[in-house]
């Protein structure tokens, strides 16, 4: 019998005869004492990258992908400091789109976006859902027949298909 975390409970199951499984658990980590300070530190001195405020610039179009309500990511803690860094770099509020990475889940509703991002962010920025079921909403990024097909959401604000503009997405 195997038991795994599932949603806010657990799920127990057996494997078919002849099958064998291994449950791997993440190492326990102590909680951060000062979450906001650690987020700011990571933004000022990221690993293997220049800081966001040095990469982004005035006139850039930026897309920040955030998780949908099914994921426990603390987007409400992460997104506001990223937005502050973008604004320090000169990126205008109207040039930022927040894209809910729904995967193949249903679209999110307003209340879920507020839970994930905070009311101030939802009221102040364009927050939309990814719609993977509609191929017309994507642009193909593949470069040759031997490459793995890859596409991204083509929301026009990102500057995709134009010669200027930065299309950026942050995943965690």
pLDDT at res. 46: 94
pLDDT at res. 168: 41
Query: Which region, left, alpha or beta, applies to residue 165 given φ > 0 means left and ψ of -120 to 50 means alpha?
Result: left
Distances (CA, A) of 66 to 2, 84, 96, 112: 31, 16, 13, 12
Cβ pair 172, 79 in contact under 8 A:
no
pLDDT at res. 156: 58
d(CA 95, CA 89): 12
Cβ pair 165, 137 in contact under 8 A:
no
CATH for the stretch 48-158? 3.40.50.11440
Cβ pair 53, 85 in contact under 8 A:
yes
Cβ contacts of 50 within 8 Å, gap of 6 or more:
none
Q: 46: closest CA among 74, 81, 92, 77? A: 81
Bridging pattern class, strands 9-13 and 2-6:
antiparallel
Residue 25 has phi, psi (to 5 degrees) of: -110, 140
Task: Report the predicted TM-score, pTM, of the whole model to 2 decimal places.
Answer: 0.73
Q: Where are the domains of the chain?
A: 48-158
Consecutive 10-residue averages of pLDDT for the chain (172 residues): 86 92 87 94 94 93 92 94 96 94 90 96 94 79 77 62 38 39
């Amino acid at each position: 019998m195997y038991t795994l975390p599932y949603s806010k409970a657990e799920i127990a199951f057996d494997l078919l005869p002849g099958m064998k499984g291994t449950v791997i658990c993440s190492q326990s980590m102590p909680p951060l004492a000062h979450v906001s300070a650690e987020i700011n530190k990571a933004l000022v001195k990221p690993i293997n990258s220049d800081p966001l405020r040095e990469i982004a610039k005035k006139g850039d179009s930026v897309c920040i992908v955030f998780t949908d309500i099914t994921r426990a990511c603390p987007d409400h803690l992460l997104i506001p400091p990223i937005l502050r860094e973008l604004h320090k770099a000169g990126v205008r509020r109207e040039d930022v789109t927040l894209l809910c990475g729904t995967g193949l889940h249903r679209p999110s509703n307003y209340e879920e976006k507020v839970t994930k991002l905070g009311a101030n962010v939802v009221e102040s920025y364009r927050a939309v859902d990814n719609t993977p079921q509609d191929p017309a909403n994507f642009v193909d990024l593949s470069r040759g027949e031997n490459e793995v097909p890859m596409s991204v959401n083509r929301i026009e604000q990102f500057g995709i298909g134009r010669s200027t503009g930065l299309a950026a997405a942050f995943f965690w």
